[in-house]
Structure 1
Amino acid sequence: MSDPHEIDPDYSKHGGFPDFEAATPGPGFGRFLTAMRRAQDLAVSANPDSDTWIEAAQLAERLVALLDPFEAAEGVGPANRVPSEPGSGSLLMPPYRVHKFDAEAVELTVTFSRYHVGGNYAVHGGVLPLMFDSSFGMVIHATGKPISRTGFLHVDYRKITPIDIPLTLRAWVREEQGRKSFVNAELRDPEGNLLAEANGLMIMLLPGQP
């Protein structure tokens, strides 16, 4: 991976993006993520009695009160900055693990859960663009290109995407035209069946563009 500053001397001036570096928040953060992911699943699937909902609300409110004084700016908190954790430590993303990260392609495994269900135990169609868009950003970073934003993202759904099964996502740059990078990605199940594929446009930001 090349240094994007060599391609674009104004790299650091693009839209005020923080300089993301890996964070080391300690083992408690990993435990927290695991518990929170399970809490997300239960938040959309549990059906307890009224008293249990009241107790759960009180516990959630205590958690908010505990963490609220420590809210930090983007690029300061550990979320999305811990590569050793699934989803790089971001609860926004489905838990994924990157296995290949270079100029040729980015490859990762991702497992969707009950939290991501849209209906009939299939992954919600709106969740897949989120995962594809994230992979496009990884490709831009892996190829050493300067900071870019998504110009468009098109998704074709080929089969139902299941939950609780490790799936493989591969993304790569198909073509480059100046500031434009045309990218592709595909999601497959363990048998190699194509579940969904995407193509999109990533546009390099100019200095000052947010």
Structure 2
Amino acid sequence: MTDAARGGFPDLQPVTPPPGFARFLTAMRRAQDLAVSAAPDAATWDDAADQVERLVELLAPFEADEGVGPANRAPSLPGTGSLLMPPYRIISFTDAGVELQVEFSRFSVGGNRAVHGGVLPLLFDSVFGMVIHATGRPISRTAFLHVDYRNVTPIDTVLTAKGWLREAQGRKAFVNAELLGPDGTVLAEANGLMIRLLPGQP
């Protein structure tokens, strides 16, 4: 991809992370779930805080610039290795659109074991970005994203997310997406506008 096509974005390349990072990611996802669901005694919270603080101390000397570490650059790992995203796996990535399998966990609950409504725009925004790449368009920023919630989105269930390019007009790309339950029920739908970056634009 040319510098002009990337706007002001760095040229981030996918990586194959060391096995330890995959283990770390799995453990951190479980820790996130426990952070919002565990109810131990005060002493156990103190012990947990001590261990997390030691982890921070261990990793802090290695903090690097964006795009240097494996997080968000590891296609072989769920969510491309990003703890920001729910763990997803890409099933299809073509110029006709993208399809993912995604499973939300306790960390994403808003209430009554249903996924928090604010989490779904995060997923859809990432799907929109994948559609831009899959269709060969230059890097774009989200101009707007609209979500319609059709049914409750459950946790601990393998769901399907699909996204496709509806229309392109110059720098503008109008994108659609949907999230489906195991039986094909539409859980949420989204549409948005992605704007191609200008050269040097962040």
| Structure 1 residue 177 corresponds to structure 2 residue 174 | no
TM superposition score normalised by structure 1: 0.94
Stretches of structure 2 lacking an aligned partner (at least 5 in a row)? none
Instruction: Show the counterpart of 2:23.
Output: 31
Give matches, 1:150-169, under 5 Å.
150-169=142-161
Instruction: Show the counterpart of 2:135.
Output: 143
Instruction: Show the counterpart of 2:75.
Output: 83
Supply the RMSD in Å over aligned alpha carbons.
Answer: 0.9
Correspondence for 1:107 among 67, 80, 99: 99
What letter is aligned with 1:35? A
Give matches, 1:28-107, under 5 Å.
28-107=20-99
Cα deviation per residue 1:79-125 (whole Å; 9 max; x = unaligned)? Answer: 01111100000000000000100110100000000000001110000
Cα deviation per residue 1:22-46 (whole Å; 9 max; x = unaligned)? Answer: 1122111100000000000000000
Instruction: Show the counterpart of 1:205.
Output: 197
Q: Distance in 2 between matches of 1:25 and 1:158?
A: 38
Cα deviation per residue 1:36-92 (whole Å; 9 max; x = unaligned)? Answer: 000000000000000000000000000000000111111111001111100000000
What letter is aligned with 2:191? N
Correspondence for 1:125 among 108, 117, 127: 117
Identity of aligned residues (%): 71
TM superposition score normalised by structure 2: 0.98
Structure 2 residue matching 1:10: 3-state secondary structure: helix
Q: Distance in 1 between matches of 2:180 and 2:135?
A: 23
Q: Is the CA contact 2:4–2:200 (under 8 Å) kept in the aligned structure 1? A: no
What letter is aligned with 1:10? A
Q: Is the CA contact 2:16–2:76 (under 8 Å) kept in the aligned structure 1? A: no
Stretches of structure 1 lacking an aligned partner (at least 5 in a row)? none
Q: Distance in 2 between matches of 1:205 and 1:35?
A: 36
Q: Distance in 2 between matches of 1:145 and 1:176?
A: 10
* Aligned-pair CA distance for 1:11: 2.1
Q: Which deviates more, 89-98 or 67-76?
A: 67-76
